[in-house]
Structure 1
Amino acid sequence: MSAVIEIAGLRKTFQTLRHGRRVAVDDFHMLVEAGQVHGFLGPNGSGKTTTLRALLGLVRPDHGWMHVLGVRSPEQLPEVAGRVGAIVESPQFFGNFTGHRTLRLLALAGGVPTSRVDEVLERVGLRDRGGERVKGYSLGMKQRLAVASALLKRPELLILDEPANGLDPAGIREMRDLTRSLAEAGVTVLLSSHILAEIQLICDHVTIVSRGRRVAYGPVHEVLAGFDEHQWQVRVADLDQAAELLGRAGLSVTGNPDHLVVTGVVDPEVISRTLGEQGLWVRELVPLRPDLESVFLELTGDHEHVAVPRQVDGAPAYDGVIDLDARDSREVDA
């Protein structure tokens, strides 16, 4: 697959009145390949929006380089602007315009056939509400309108910053289905969201950023696997006896009121055999696998150094999970 977004050594600082110079993005790297639905995650203030704004030429970085659809950004961005759709931060519209008129004006300004307006309103579930004024829209409806505006140009790359903001559960599911359908149609999607369960369902790759630096990158299943402690929840009739037997067998066991947690066991047969040989039969044996939320919280916790999972042998730091203190010597003036 070819790279759709490449960012290397990106650094951006801002001058603040209270704290002086603040580093928003520090030596940041990202790689998004064609056809991916790529999740971009980080706490508030971690540098996600600043990164997206720099990528789209809305702010000028201090150092680093960026490529979008094969051209350097921001210098050559106008060459591919017609192939990129984006929502960054909260969308703003003229309240007295209808949704249909808003999109029609955007279509005319962008050289897009106005027939496309009804198509995108239909796609985001607003066709029946397109004749209403935007000031009467709920926050979720405004988000849908913003997504519709990003789809007007039939983009090859779609960048969505918190597209599910303000949506109810049904709307979130519709947004998930829309994202999947776009990916199936060949659109590359870069998706920033705080709804981590949705990211885990939708995205095939993920980049996690904390304090302006990348702390994890890769296929979602590989990032999760790096935090898998091979834990199992065990329920038996006699928990104390089971804990003693498993401990005697050299297994790490943690007791709970109604179950045991056994850690570091790849093959659960070890647990069932150890107990079964002593006439203690397992009622429940369930794997405890990390989810994206638990990994996210561990990587972005409020501590000086972040615990980083193991890397695949031979994989360079740029293509795997990296340490917060790792530095790349490449810094190019933008």
Structure 2
Amino acid sequence: MSAVLEIQGLQKTYRSRKGVRKALDGFDMVVESGQVHGFLGPNGSGKTTTLRTLLGLIRPNGGRMALLGREVPQSLPEVAGSVGAIVESPQFFGNFTALETLQLLADAGGVPPARVFEVLELVGLRDRAKDRVKTYSLGMKQRLAVASALLKNPKLLILDEPANGLDPGGIREMRTLMRNLAESGMTVVLSSHILGEIQLICDSVTIIAAGRRVAAGAVADVLAQHAGSSVRVRLESAQDLAASVGLLRELGGQVTVEDDHLMVSGIDRPSAITRALAGNGVFVSELSPVSVDLESVFLELTGTTPVAGEHRQVDQTVMAPTGPAQGGWGH
């Protein structure tokens, strides 16, 4: 596989009365062709700044960036037609229908009219195509934004929170769409706070915190690197919890007391737990390994809690490279 997106040592500094703030501090990122790649980070981590810098909307202070093998921002005019992107919440003219909106964008970008109906079908809006956008829910506007980004059938699709406002059924449909696009050869970069979805849909991830990369690689590899040997120990009697803590710590275990069970790590062989407890008259009703998931890794690396549907910034951009009607890369 070849890289369709490369970032090396990206720097972005903001100066204000409060001093200097490094939004990006030597950030690195690589996305291989044909993948669905998750781009994750807490609020204020530099995630949106990275995307906007990559697409020429913010000027960096240092570093190297490339899209589809071409250096950007200098080569953006050459690659713009092969990149579709939505950064932050989309904005459309409320009195236009979805069909009219996409037809205008298609005409401005030289896209065949038939493609409008194809993308409406792809995102599940064909039956509502003649309704005014102002009657759309937030989730439907998200679908319309994705449709606009897909008009030119781009090689690289960058989506910031595409599931924002979608119900569980819509999230599942969006997941299927992203996988189908990747299977057709398109590369998808997906930013989301719904980490369970990222784990299901993505081949690889990059996690950013405080402007620096803190993890990257195949999802399975990132999870494996942070997998521990923790086990959940549930006892037959709640009165045995306190007594069991000391016994397990004598074995060298790190023990955390939960409401109705113990979390134990640092003991390589779970059988040692059962033997030690049974030898002291304490009997185990459950002994199960605790599997690591992407959310727990995210929390460990960033020290923050992901919030679905968090407040978005006021500045809003839809970047579907479809020509003058979009004002170049944004509007």
Query: Please, what TM-score do these two structures have when normalized by structure 2?
Result: 0.83
1:216 and 1:9 mapped to 2: Cα distance? 15
Tell me by how many angstroms 1:248 deviates: 4.5
Give the alignment partner of residue 251 of structure 1, picking from 250, 253, 260: 253
- Check if 1:13 corresponds to 2:41: no
Tell me by how many angstroms 1:265 deviates: 3.4
Q: Name the structure 1 match of 2:51.
A: 52
Amino acid in the other structure paired with 1:121: L
Closer, same or farther: CA 273–10 of 1 in aligned 2, 3 Å: same
- Check if 1:78 corresponds to 2:77: yes
Tell me by how many angstroms 1:55 deviates: 1.0
User: After the TM superposition, which residues 63-142 of structure 1 pair with which residues of structure 2 at under 5 Å, given as runs?
Assistant: 63-142=62-141
1:69 and 1:267 mapped to 2: Cα distance? 48
Tell me by how many angstroms 1:274 deviates: 4.7
Amino acid in the other structure paired with 1:263: S
2:71 and 2:200 mapped to 1: Cα distance? 32
Tell me by how many angstroms 1:242 deviates: 4.9
Alignment deviations for residues 77-115 of structure 1 (CA, whole Å, 9 cap, x no partner): 222222211111111112221101111111111121110
Farther-moved stretch of structure 1 (37-46 vs 250-259): 250-259
SS at match of 1:57: coil
Contact preservation (8 Å) 1:13, 1:21: yes
Tell me by how many angstroms 1:70 deviates: 0.6
Contact preservation (8 Å) 1:236, 1:242: no
SS at match of 1:147: helix
Aligned-residue identity in percent: 66
Q: Name the structure 1 match of 2:314.
A: none
Alignment deviations for residues 17-47 of structure 1 (CA, whole Å, 9 cap, x no partner): x435432212111011112211111122221
Give the alignment partner of residue 296 of structure 1, picking from 295, 298, 302: 298
Tell me by how many angstroms 1:5 deviates: 0.6
Alignment deviations for residues 237-286 of structure 1 (CA, whole Å, 9 cap, x no partner): 25356555544544343444532222123443443455567776532122
Contact preservation (8 Å) 1:121, 1:148: yes
Contact preservation (8 Å) 2:254, 2:264: yes
User: After the TM superposition, which residues 180-195 of structure 1 pair with which residues of structure 2 at under 5 Å, given as runs?
Assistant: 180-195=179-194
Relative contact order, higher structure (CA 8 A, sep 6+): 2
Tell me by how many angstroms 1:223 deviates: 2.2
Tell me by how many angstroms 1:147 deviates: 0.2
Q: Name the structure 2 match of 1:30.
A: 29
2:106 and 2:265 mapped to 1: Cα distance? 57
Root-mean-square deviation (CA), in Å? 2.2
Closer, same or farther: CA 244–58 of 1 in aligned 2, 3 Å: closer
Contact preservation (8 Å) 1:93, 1:134: yes
Amino acid in the other structure paired with 2:8: A
Alignment deviations for residues 94-141 of structure 1 (CA, whole Å, 9 cap, x no partner): 222110111111111112111011111111110011101112211111
1:43 and 1:202 mapped to 2: Cα distance? 19
Contact preservation (8 Å) 2:252, 2:266: no
Amino acid in the other structure paired with 2:284: V
Q: Name the structure 2 match of 1:43.
A: 42
Query: Please, what TM-score do these two structures have when normalized by structure 1?
Result: 0.83
Q: Name the structure 1 match of 2:198.
A: 199
Contact preservation (8 Å) 1:41, 1:193: yes
Contact preservation (8 Å) 2:14, 2:22: yes
1:22 and 1:278 mapped to 2: Cα distance? 57
Closer, same or farther: CA 96–40 of 1 in aligned 2, 3 Å: same
Count of aligned pairs between the two proteins: 301
Alignment deviations for residues 214-255 of structure 1 (CA, whole Å, 9 cap, x no partner): 122122222223332311011232535655554454434344
SS at match of 1:80: helix
Q: Name the structure 2 match of 1:154.
A: 153
Closer, same or farther: CA 254–50 of 1 in aligned 2, 3 Å: closer
Contact preservation (8 Å) 1:139, 1:167: yes
2:250 and 2:146 mapped to 1: Cα distance? 58
User: After the TM superposition, which residues 266-277 of structure 1 pair with which residues of structure 2 at under 5 Å, given as runs?
Assistant: 266-275=268-277
2:274 and 2:255 mapped to 1: Cα distance? 14
For structure 2, list consecutive stretches of 5 or more residues without a partner in the other structure: 305-331
2:21 and 2:257 mapped to 1: Cα distance? 46
SS at match of 2:6: strand
